[in-house]
Amino acid sequence: METAYTNNCAPYTSARLDFVRTGELNNLFDLASLRRQLFEKKAASEREGWEAMRPLLLEASSQQRAELLFSHRLLASYGSSLPQIRFMLDSMPKEFWQEAASERRQQLANRLAGTEAGKHWMRCSRRADGWTYTARFLWGEMSRVTSEEIDRFFGMLDEISILTDLLNGHGKDYGIDFPTDGNLNSVRLMQEWISNKVSNPQALVRAIKEQMAGKEKPKTIVAPIRAAIDAGVMTRPTYEAAAEAFGFGEKVSKSSFNDYTNPCNKPYEDAAFEDLKAYFKTFL
C-alpha cells in the first residue's frame, strides 16, 4: 500500500531549488545547537543504567525509537566528511577556499534537495523540533526509506553542516585555519533579496562591492545595486540592509537610495549601465 512515506525518488534527481534558497542554508544546516541538544539527551539516557533503560526500550513507541536512532546516527556521523573537505581545501590555494566551500555547499544542498529525505529535512528543519519529524520519516513504522538512502542522507548532511561551520567562521573547531571576510556577513544581510538562481552569492556580493569601489556620488554608488536588480540576480533590498552590507553609510541617503532603486524610475540609461546589467546576468 502506498503511504506518505514512500520513496521512489532517484538518489540524485534534479534539485528542488524552492527548498534550497541560499539565504536559508545557514538556518537549515547550522547543526551546532541540535548536536549539543541530542548529545545531552543521549548522555542523560545513558546515566539511567541498563535496568532502568531496558523497560523503556521495550515499551518505546515507533516515534521514540525513530528519535533515538536519529540522535545516535547524527552524532555518530559527525566529522565523517572531514577527510574529503580537507582534501578539497588542500588541493587549492587558500585564497580560493571560501569560494570553493560555498560552491560545494550549494551543490550538495541542491543534490540533497533532489531526494525525498532531503526535501523532508529542508521542510521540517525550519522548526526547532523539525528533526523529530525527519526521524519519523526515516525510521517510522510506515517508512520506505532504504538504508542506502539513509547513509547518503547523513553523509551529505554532515558535509554540508561542516562547510556551513567553516563559512560561518568556526574553522578552529576543526583545526582548520579557514579565512573569512566581510563578504560572508554581506551575503547574510542580502540573503533575503539575492535570487535563488545565483549559484555563488558571495561572488555576486564581491562583484557589487568592486563596482562600487572608488565611487563618491550617490547615483554612481547605487548603480551596481540597481544593475543587479534589473539583471534579475536580486530584488530590491531595504536601504538599511544595503547600507550595512555594502558599507556606503552616509554617502547615500535613504531617499536617494529609494529613488535610484525605484523600478518606476529610470535614472540609468547609458551604455555603461547596460554593460553592468549584462555583467551581473552572468551570475545566473
Distance of CA 212 to the CA centre of its chain: 27
User: Do 46 and 156 share a structural domain?
Assistant: yes
User: Do 205 and 154 share a structural domain?
Assistant: no
Could you state, in chain order, the average pLDDT of each consecutive group of 10 residues for the chain (284 residues)?
A: 34 43 70 92 83 80 89 95 97 89 89 92 88 94 92 97 90 91 75 88 89 93 97 95 89 96 96 95 92
User: Do 148 and 260 share a structural domain?
Assistant: no
User: Do 166 and 256 share a structural domain?
Assistant: no
CA-to-CA distance for 207 and 262, rounded, in angstroms?
21
C-alpha cell at 252: 547615500
User: Do 164 and 29 share a structural domain?
Assistant: yes
CA-to-CA distance for 74 and 108, rounded, in angstroms?
17
What's the structural domain count of the chain? Answer: 2
Question: What pLDDT is attached to residue 13?
Answer: 36
User: Do 238 and 116 share a structural domain?
Assistant: no
User: Do 190 and 164 share a structural domain?
Assistant: no
Helices then strands, counting H and E runs in the chain, come out as: 15, 0
On whether residue 120 sits in a domain, the answer given is yes
On whether residue 218 sits in a domain, the answer given is yes
Look at the pTM and tell me if it is higher than 0.85. Answer: no
Among the candidates 174, 191, 224, a domain finishes at 174
On whether residue 5 sits in a domain, the answer given is no
User: Do 164 and 216 share a structural domain?
Assistant: no
Among the candidates 141, 174, 207, a domain finishes at 174
Question: What pLDDT is attached to residue 115?
Answer: 93
User: Do 160 and 25 share a structural domain?
Assistant: yes
User: Do 186 and 153 share a structural domain?
Assistant: no
CA-to-CA distance for 45 and 126, rounded, in angstroms?
27
User: Do 237 and 154 share a structural domain?
Assistant: no
Residue 127 belongs to domain spanning: 17-174
On whether residue 3 sits in a domain, the answer given is no
Distances (CA, A) of 208 to 100, 194, 259, 265: 19, 12, 19, 21
Among the candidates 174, 196, 211, a domain finishes at 174
CB 120 within 8 A of CB 168: no
Residue type at position 185: N
On whether residue 63 sits in a domain, the answer given is yes
Question: What pLDDT is attached to residue 30?
Answer: 87
Question: What pLDDT is attached to residue 64?
Answer: 86
Question: What pLDDT is attached to residue 189?
Answer: 81
On whether residue 114 sits in a domain, the answer given is yes
**CB-based contacts of 154: which residues, under 8 Å, 6+ apart?**
73, 74, 77, 80
Question: What pLDDT is attached to residue 80?
Answer: 97
